């Protein structure tokens, strides 16, 4: 099928009749009269452009060197554009040098720091001369390669990734294998390959690793099955199991391993919550499905003899819906963490010391008038009042400092300690200006709570009028079984903040 044929089919869209014009325009606002900002387009007159080219040609540099430099410069410009780096104020030579400095990851050129600093909102470069390591971290943050400090004191870590290969019949890359690796003190210990599925996540089960994912597909017409596998501490795959529950599409949302069995919570056809229980050999011993509607399975934890599962929906803005599921898979209770004054957004949960801990953040609930105005806020309830302040007061050029203060006033990290039977919170910890993040139990059997402290934010209406971006530093709080705060530290990790 040629592009021309595709274009001709798309042209049929032109024939769709429009709705009534007056009906559409009747809902629009009255114009606000403001002073316009004119953009002046810079146009080089042809003669000046020709003169510029002639000057370039008579430079006393060999033709070959010019070509090489031009090629490098062109590559640099594309590179700067792709990574949103500012070119302003730099000469061609400086642009090439910065490009080379970043590509080789050397970070020795002094202009590189200036370029990266002005490109990234939300990370403060140290006031003294930055080290190459500092700049490398900043660069990695800018490009989504966040470094993650180990949450335990163990030297062991795991990594997984997908390898693709070209399918000549289809003409594009498809899944070849998924690879799971174990590292000890950053040295590779063993490596396991899976061809049946691509890995989406893993959990530890004492000294074994439970890996799960789904069948790779390249078309929505194909069926997508969930897979789960078990690897022992030496890197031997003990078993691989495909979940075959009669769905067109099924994926695993959460896995809760215990001593006797493995509870796998999967989602079937975007509406069924399924509990699959597997024995230690990977055989399915119990299955139960419940129609819960369009909710994703975001988290699950053991709760005595039952389980608690967090369901969520980005579409309806529900982040704090917790259900209690018994060992048969039947939903026996549900909790919605909410109050008149605040909305809660649960991000992680864990069972510790016979209680359930929920890591969340809260934002103030709007009053009734604002609630109606926010009906079409596109789900951005947590930043709606800030956006409203910006637009109502025409503060499109709001400074980072003022915006960050507003954002920090809006968010509070919350750690809820809940009764295992009733689910009601018994006590909580809060940190202003932050979001609750990951919960883990460290090697000393202490509870570790990560909190993302909103550090710097920015608003860029030319990119998106409805988004606030920025960065947060991660702090780590460690509690003992009595709930005593043992330590707090700034981990050095930086995460993205985007609403």
Partner 1 sequence: MRTQNIIKVCDKAMIAFLKGDKGALGVIYDCMAKLIYSTAYGITGSVQDAEDVLQNTMIEISKYAHTYKAGSNPKAWMLTIAHHCSIDVIRKRKPDIPIEDSKLPETSGTQPDFSQIEVLELLSLLDPEERRILIYRLYTGLPYKQIASVMGISVTSAQKKYQRSVKKLKACYQNEEVSHEKT
Given the rule CB under 8 A, which residues bind partner 1? 1, 3, 6-7, 9-19, 21, 24-25, 27-34, 36-41, 78, 81-83, 169-172, 218-221, 270-271, 294, 314-315, 376, 378-379, 391, 394, 396, 461, 463-466
Q: Residue 36 or residue 47: which is nearer to partner 1 going by CB?
A: 36
Q: Residue 13 or residue 58: which is nearer to partner 1 going by CB?
A: 13
Q: Residue 85 or residue 229: which is nearer to partner 1 going by CB?
A: 85
CA distance 336 to 13: 44
> Minimum distance from CB of 142 to partner 1 (Å)?
13
> Minimum distance from CB of 499 to partner 1 (Å)?
14
> Minimum distance from CB of 461 to partner 1 (Å)?
6
Strands 156-167 and 355-364: unpaired
> Minimum distance from CB of 6 to partner 1 (Å)?
6
> Minimum distance from CB of 375 to partner 1 (Å)?
10
In the three-class reduction of DSSP (H, G, I as helix; E, B as strand; rest coil), residue 211 is classed as strand
Q: Residue 40 or residue 206: which is nearer to partner 1 going by CB?
A: 40
Q: Residue 93 or residue 379: which is nearer to partner 1 going by CB?
A: 379
> Minimum distance from CB of 498 to partner 1 (Å)?
11
Neighbouring CB atoms inside 10 A of 241's CB total 19
User: Between vectors from CA 497 to CA 493 and to CA 499, what angle results, nearest 5°?
Assistant: 165
160: Cβ contacts below 8 Å, ≥ 6 apart: 178, 179, 180, 181, 199, 202, 211
Q: What is the DSSP letter of 224?
A: B
**What one-character-per-residue DSSP string does 141-166 give?**
HHTT------SSS-SEEEEEEEEEEE
Q: Residue 83 or residue 109: which is nearer to partner 1 going by CB?
A: 83
Contact assessment for residue 307 and residue 256, using Cβ atoms and an 8 Å cutoff: yes
CA distance 105 to 110: 13
> Minimum distance from CB of 491 to partner 1 (Å)?
29
CA distance 236 to 222: 30
CA distance 30 to 239: 66
Q: Residue 21 or residue 206: which is nearer to partner 1 going by CB?
A: 21
């Amino acid at each position: 099928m040629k592009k021309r044929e595709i274009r001709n089919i798309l042209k049929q869209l032109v024939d769709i009749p429009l709705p009534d014009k007056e009906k559409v325009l009747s809902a629009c606002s009255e114009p606000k009269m403001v002073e316009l900002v004119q953009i002046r387009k810079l146009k080089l007159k042809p003669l000046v452009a020709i003169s510029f080219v002639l000057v370039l040609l008579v430079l006393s540099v060999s033709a070959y060197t010019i070509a090489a430099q031009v090629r490098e410069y062109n590559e640099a410009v594309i590179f700067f554009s792709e990574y949103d780096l500012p070119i302003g104020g730099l000469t061609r030579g400086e642009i090439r040098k910065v490009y080379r400095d970043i590509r080789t990851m050397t970070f020795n050129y002094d202009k590189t720091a200036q370029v990266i600093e002005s490109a990234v909102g939300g990370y403060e470069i140290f006031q003294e001369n930055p080290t190459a390591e500092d700049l490398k971290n900043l660069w990695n943050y800018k490009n989504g390669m966040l470094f993650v400090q180990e949450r335990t004191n163990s030297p062991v870590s795991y990594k997984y990734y997908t390898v693709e290969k070209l399918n000549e019949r289809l003409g594009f890359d498809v899944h070849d294998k998924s690879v799971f690796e174990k590292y000890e003190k950053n040295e590779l210990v063993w490596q396991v390959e899976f061809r049946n599925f691509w890995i989406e996540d893993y959990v530890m089960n004492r000294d074994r690793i439970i890996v799960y994912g789904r069948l790779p597909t390249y078309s929505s017409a194909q069926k997508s099955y969930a897979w789960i596998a078990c690897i022992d501490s030496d890197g031997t795959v003990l078993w691989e199991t495909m979940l075959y529950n009669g769905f067109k599409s099924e994926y695993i949302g959460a896995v809760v391993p215990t001593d006797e069995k493995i509870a796998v919570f999967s989602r079937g056809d975007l509406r069924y919550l399924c509990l699959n229980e597997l024995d230690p050999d990977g055989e399915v011993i119990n299955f139960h499905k419940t129609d819960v509607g369009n909710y994703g399975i975001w988290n699950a934890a053991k709760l005595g003899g039952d389980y608690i599962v967090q369901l969520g929906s980005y579409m309806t803005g529900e982040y704090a819906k917790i259900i209690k599921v018994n060992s048969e898979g039947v939903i026996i209770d549900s909790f919605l963490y909410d109050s008149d004054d605040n909305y809660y957004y649960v991000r992680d949960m864990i069972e510790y010391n016979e209680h359930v801990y929920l890591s969340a953040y809260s934002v103030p609930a709007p009053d009734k008038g604002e609630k109606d105005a926010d009906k079409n806020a596109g789900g951005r309830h947590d930043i709606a009042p800030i956006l409203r302040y910006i637009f109502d007061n025409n503060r499109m050029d709001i400074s980072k400092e003022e915006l960050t203060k507003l954002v920090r006033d809006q968010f509070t990290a919350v750690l809820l300690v809940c009764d295992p039977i009733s689910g009601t919170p018994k006590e909580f910890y809060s940190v202003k200006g932050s979001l609750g993040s990951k919960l883990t139990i460290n090697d000393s059997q202490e509870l570790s709570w990560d909190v993302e402290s909103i550090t710097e934010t920015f608003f860029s209406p030319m990119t998106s009028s409805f988004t606030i971006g920025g960065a947060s530093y991660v702090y780590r709080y460690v509690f003992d079984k009595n709930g005593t705060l043992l330590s707090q530290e700034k981990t050095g990790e930086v995460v993205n903040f985007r609403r």
